[in-house]
Amino acid sequence: MSSTRSLQYRVLHDRLKKEIVKGIYKIGDTLPSENDLCAATNLARSTVRHALLQLEKEGYIVKQRGKGSIVAATRRSLGLLSFQGFSASVNGSSVSTLSVQVPKISPWPSPFFFPLSIEEEHAGCISFSRVRKIEADRVMWETTYLPNLNLPRFARTFKVEHSFFEFLAVHHQVEITGMVQEIRAIHADVRTAKHLRIKKGDALLVINRKYSTSRSSLNIYSTLYCNTNKYAMSNSSGTMPS
């Protein structure tokens, strides 16, 4: 199924990852110790360690000497610009989502902001659109586009209020593996101004993103219009103290 033949560390890694994603191990739980895993799988410890190191690199667990391998947030979000960590915790502020357009099938917008493959072009496009709020402020208008490809019943089963990436992981075993984005400052047009409750001409941040996924034919695209008047977009990378 998944490209690689049967590398033993891969098999163990995949098994543990599935168990984490499915919730058999919950955030904060401790995985079986390396020695336990050795005993259970009949693998050498370095092989078990290799599997765990992969999981750690992917952000699924954190290893702590003397304690064990502890399940971390199910999903990393490295390098993504976000409102200080959007869907998750924004300093305890209440975050909410308004549906602007439920998933619908349509042709790709033209011109599109990233070049499309023939396969994608051909498949047609599913798009949906939503507005994100922090407290009472409308801070972001987001439209997501994806090819209508091997995602049966998607348009009917996805609820716009949920996390899209979580939905893909749980229902389609699709994970985000990379992202490229392009950022500009523009003046708001009438339509955008209306969605974000600002004035036409106000300064606005627009981000065009392309996500690659674990399914090589599936890329996901999105456009974000961000009102940064009150909340800035932020991100970090590398190791920052405290």
CB of 204 to a second copy, least distance (A): 5
Closer by beta carbon to DNA, 27 or else 88: 27
Applying CB under 7 A, does 69 fall inside the site for DNA?
A: yes
Closer by beta carbon to DNA, 68 or else 85: 68
Q: Which x/- pattern over 2-21 shows residues binding DNA (rule: CB under 7 A)?
A: -----xxxx-----------
Amino acid letter for position 194: K
- Cα–Cα distances in angstroms (integers) from residue 115 to residues 81, 107, 108, 160, 207, in the given order: 22, 14, 11, 26, 16
Applying CB under 8 A, does 177 fall inside the site for a second copy?
A: yes
Q: How many CB atoms lie within 10 A of CB 217?
A: 12
**225 — phi, psi (to 5°)?**
-105, 120
**71 — phi, psi (to 5°)?**
-70, 130
Closer by beta carbon to a second copy, 20 or else 226: 226
Q: Are 39 and 84 in contact (CB under 8 A)?
A: no
Q: Which of 51, 52, 176, 193 touches a second copy (CB under 8 A)? A: 176
The beta strands (E) that lie in 83-171 are given as 95-106, 125-134, 137-147
Q: Which of 17, 20, 25, 47 touches DNA (CB under 7 A)? A: 47
- Cα–Cα distances in angstroms (integers) from residue 83 to residues 24, 99, 219, in the given order: 30, 19, 23
- Cα–Cα distances in angstroms (integers) from residue 230 to residues 106, 129, 227, in the given order: 34, 22, 7
Applying CB under 8 A, does 155 fall inside the site for a second copy?
A: no
Q: Which of 80, 90, 98, 160 touches a second copy (CB under 8 A)? A: 80
Q: Are 154 and 103 in contact (CB under 8 A)?
A: yes
> Cα(42)–Cα(46) distance, rounded to whole angstroms?
12
Applying CB under 8 A, does 23 fall inside the site for a second copy?
A: no
Applying CB under 8 A, does 212 fall inside the site for a second copy?
A: yes
Applying CB under 8 A, does 181 fall inside the site for a second copy?
A: yes
Applying CB under 7 A, does 39 fall inside the site for DNA?
A: no
Closer by beta carbon to DNA, 70 or else 102: 70
Applying CB under 7 A, does 65 fall inside the site for DNA?
A: yes
Where does this chain bind a second copy (CB under 8 A)? 46, 78-81, 176-187, 203-205, 208, 210, 212, 216, 226, 228-229, 232-241
